[in-house]
């Protein structure tokens, strides 16, 4: 059975309450615990390193559409792909059409805007350019699609927000120990208990963090042939 969020927060407080570890929470202890827990999980989506689980999404790319947005349902205007939050780390992306797979090349935004001279209206999309914004992620396809393709995206997404009435079921069980120490460390400083964060707790926290970083998958970049670059001969063929 997954641990309730309120109980998880109480466990984190116990780590920094060595003198009275069984004293019940009071005042804004729980609400601050929920706030800092959600802030921690949002921070992990910056690079995706501390988000250990990648997911695969599949959606359609309409004819002529150049851009797809990922985000939460409460964002206005509504994102094209509804997900917990931003796309934190793209690991792989590909198109499918009539049983044929077309890999997509993840190109940096700066390289893309510094390289292309022409903007074909339609063609076979070969590049994706990721732009992260405050509440959503934009994925641009270059060129725009000349047919309706099925797009597959494999990557790490921003972790969900929780309330005190939720459970920790959305996170892998091996993640809980590390997150308990991480939350306790933030609470120690924000709740005026910095003296309670001892060297021993710091050592345990660092060890748990290293374990989580080792679980996180690494995105390996594959060098492509020169003709696949934005200004190569491929672009002439792709616009046909």
The band of 120, judged by pLDDT with boundaries at 50, 70 and 90, is low
> Are 107 and 140 members of one domain?
yes
Residue 235 covered by a domain: no
> Are 67 and 150 members of one domain?
yes
Cβ contact 153:106 at 8 Å: no
pLDDT, the chain, mean? 84
> Are 115 and 206 members of one domain?
no
Rama region for 140: left / alpha / beta (φ>0; ψ in -120 to 50; rest): beta
| pLDDT for 226 | 45
- Nearest-10 crossing angle of helices 5-15, 29-44: 90
Rg (CA), the chain: 22
- At 46-55, the pLDDT tens digits run 888 888 888 8
Query: Domains in the chain: how many in total?
Result: 2
- More confident of the two residues 7 and 216: 7
Residue 42 covered by a domain: yes
The band of 148, judged by pLDDT with boundaries at 50, 70 and 90, is very high
| pLDDT for 45 | 83
> Are 154 and 63 members of one domain?
yes
> Are 115 and 180 members of one domain?
no
> Are 61 and 106 members of one domain?
yes
Residue 228 covered by a domain: no
Residue 154 covered by a domain: yes
> Are 41 and 71 members of one domain?
no
| pLDDT for 222 | 47
115-124: average pLDDT = 72
State the residue range of the domain holding 61. Answer: 55-158
Residue 203 covered by a domain: yes
Paired tokens of 225: 């042939």
Residue 44 covered by a domain: yes
Burial of 107 (0-12, 13-18, 19+ CB in 10 A): buried
The domain boundary, picked from 126, 158, 190, lies at: 158
Residue 189 covered by a domain: yes
> Are 75 and 93 members of one domain?
yes
- At 58-73, the pLDDT tens digits run 999 999 989 999 988 8
pLDDT at 218 over 70: no
Cβ contact 9:183 at 8 Å: yes
| Residues contacting 206, CB < 8 A, separation 6+ | none
pLDDT at 20 over 80: no
Residue 231 covered by a domain: no
């Amino acid at each position: 059975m997954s641990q309730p969020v309120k109980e998880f927060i109480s466990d984190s407080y116990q780590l920094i309450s060595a003198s009275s570890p069984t004293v019940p929470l009071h005042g804004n202890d729980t609400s601050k615990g929920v706030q800092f827990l959600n802030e921690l999980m949002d921070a992990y989506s910056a690079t995706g390193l501390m988000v250990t689980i990648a997911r695969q999404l599949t959606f359609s790319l309409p004819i002529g559409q150049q851009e797809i947005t990922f985000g939460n349902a409460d964002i206005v205007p509504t994102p094209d792909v509804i997900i917990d939050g931003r796309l934190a780390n793209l690991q792989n992306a590909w198109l499918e059409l009539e049983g044929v797979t077309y890999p997509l090349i993840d190109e940096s935004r700066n390289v893309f805007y510094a390289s292309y001279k022409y903007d074909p209206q339609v063609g076979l999309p070969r590049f994706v350019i990721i732009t992260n914004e405050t509440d959503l992620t934009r994925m641009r396809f270059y060129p725009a699609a000349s047919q309706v393709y099925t797009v597959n995206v494999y990557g790490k997404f921003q972790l969900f927000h929780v309330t005190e009435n939720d459970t920790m079921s959305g996170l892998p069980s091996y993640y809980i120990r590390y997150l308990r120490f991480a939350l306790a460390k933030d609470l120690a400083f924000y709740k005026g208990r910095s003296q309670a964060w001892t060297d021993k707790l710091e050592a345990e926290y660092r060890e748990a963090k290293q374990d989580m970083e080792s679980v996180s998958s690494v995105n390996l970049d594959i060098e492509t042939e020169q003709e696949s670059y934005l200004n190569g001969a491929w672009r002439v063929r792709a616009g046909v």
